[in-house]
Amino acid sequence: MHLMSYRSLRSFLERLERAGELVRVADPVDPVLEMAALADRAAKQEGPALLFENPRPSAVGDGTPPHGTLAHRRDGSILPVAMNLFGSRRRTAWALSCEDLETPANELRALLHMAPPVSFWDKLMMLPKLGKLAAYMPKHVGDGPVREIVETEPDLRSVPVLTTWPHDGGPFITLPQVVTRDPETGLRNVGMYRLQVLGPRHLAMHWQLHKTATAHFRAYRKRGERMPVAIALGGDPALTYCASAPLPPGIDEYLFAGFLRKEGVPLVKCLTNDLEVPAEADLVIEGFVDPAAPLVREGPFGDHTGYYSLADDYPALEVTCLTRRRDAIYPATVVGPPPMEDLWLGKATERLFLPLLQTVFPEVVDMSFPAEGVFHNLCFVAMKKEFPGHAKKLMHGMWGSGQMANTKTLVVFDDDVDVHDHSQCTWRAFANVDARRDLVVLEGPVDVLDHAAPSFALGAKLGVDATRKWAEEGGREWPEPCVHPPELLARMDALYQRIVPAAPPARRPKIPPPPAASWSPRKGAA
């Protein structure tokens, strides 16, 4: 079931409040550390979304980084701050205008089955051409709520940007939609990159090595031109999610948002550059990056890995304009030791991108990114194994597909394993793996935030074949897992509930017996 799209971040919060999923925080809370600490507590308990109605200006510092005093807006107030918006599977589904994350995943799967049998990315490129999606294309409008207030002499201190961890280099914008454009093709990219506030009109742009915005920056530098940048905040939360989605270059994130919303995203042109931004966003920061200017020091930052990413040099943005709604709300998140709110953004990506992965690897049945793997460190995959060495073939193929290239540890199971039951996965992996036979180690690109890699963005990957081993793979006679017949389990479950009425439902691994046809010396275990 699809919900209506949201006309503002405020309308999404109203939906959460009606459902008892929002807590208004009337107490004055400081954007320096205090908000993040409270949101961290809520995220780890899958607690409610938080709306800080009275951000307290920090008493620390003189208005300059790393911890500057907040300047009030011209009307004397400070923007309220919304956090932990995506802090549960239920809220994340609602943010994507659906009741369950499997709904848009199944719709995407059906659309992909309509397309000709071309490559994974080619199918994505075809989506705008499919008639059903014509209504989901971005809509260009002349004006919108995000222009209700225009500041041509912008001061970023009027925005309650958070400092989330004690050793952060300063306040960071953490939930942005960073809009850039390829100067050669004109194609737009919307990414989610942290942005450090360096002063009233300057931001450090954390564009990592493998990101599309970095490629755009290199192109502008080659042309000797200033690079226009726009940073949208808030609006329909589906827009925020799509900025985080690992779409390939050339796929418009706002088109993908339109698919999720079942309605095209209205876009308005910026006032000081020629980019377009969501007309219903809460806040937009416009500016330019000069590729010829010296890089600036950015960081440290308490990152989603749970560790501080170290300070490094990145391009600087000069802010030229700030526009906002009259009732704007500033969205923010805190990342750090898992589980955190970003777990659920990752879970949405896991469910939505599984059908896309299956177009290239139809043997994949399911996948899971455990919270402790902070998305790129660990992936569990269940597959239909069809020939000796199939699991290792799948590993190499997945490491060659888009953002999966950054997956440091890939564990492959048979299709009778529930990859979302991490207890079962641990049991199966430790039981089924022989270190000499079943581990694959190779060198390749890794996430730039991987501090364990011996070189920047380059390190080793580990593949683990946790499937049943066939005779051709050097397997001996392979035992079956212990499982009672389903009809017996149902009777005994009912009896147990009668004699122990307070008992929680039985929690058992999903272990169907192997199909008889595949249980032979040639097509099954030895």
Give catalytic residue positions: 303
CB-based contact 344:86 (threshold 8 Å): yes
CB-based contact 1:98 (threshold 8 Å): yes
- Measured CA to CA, the distance from residue 470 to residue 454 in angstroms comes to 36
- Measured CA to CA, the distance from residue 300 to residue 302 in angstroms comes to 7
- Joined together, the tokens standing for residue 93 give 């589904």
The CA distances from residue 279 to 152, 227, 266, 343, 381, in Å, are 18, 22, 6, 28, 40
Radius of gyration of the chain (CA): 25
Tell me 104's DSSP state.
H
CB-based contact 59:313 (threshold 8 Å): no
- Joined together, the tokens standing for residue 100 give 């369950």
The strand order across the sheet containing 458-465 reads 364-368, 379-383, 409-414, 458-465, 439-445
CB-based contact 288:226 (threshold 8 Å): yes
CB-based contact 160:441 (threshold 8 Å): no
The strand order across the sheet containing 81-83 reads 22-25, 49-52, 81-83, 330-331
Q: 């888009």: which residue's tokens?
A: 402
E strands present in 210-304:
227-233, 266-269, 276-278, 283-289, 296-298, 301-302
- Joined together, the tokens standing for residue 419 give 């990859």
Among 124, 115, 198, which residue's Cα sits nearest to residue 156?
198
Neighbours of 1 (CB within 10 A): 7
Q: Which helix (H) or strand (E) holds 323?
A: strand 316-324
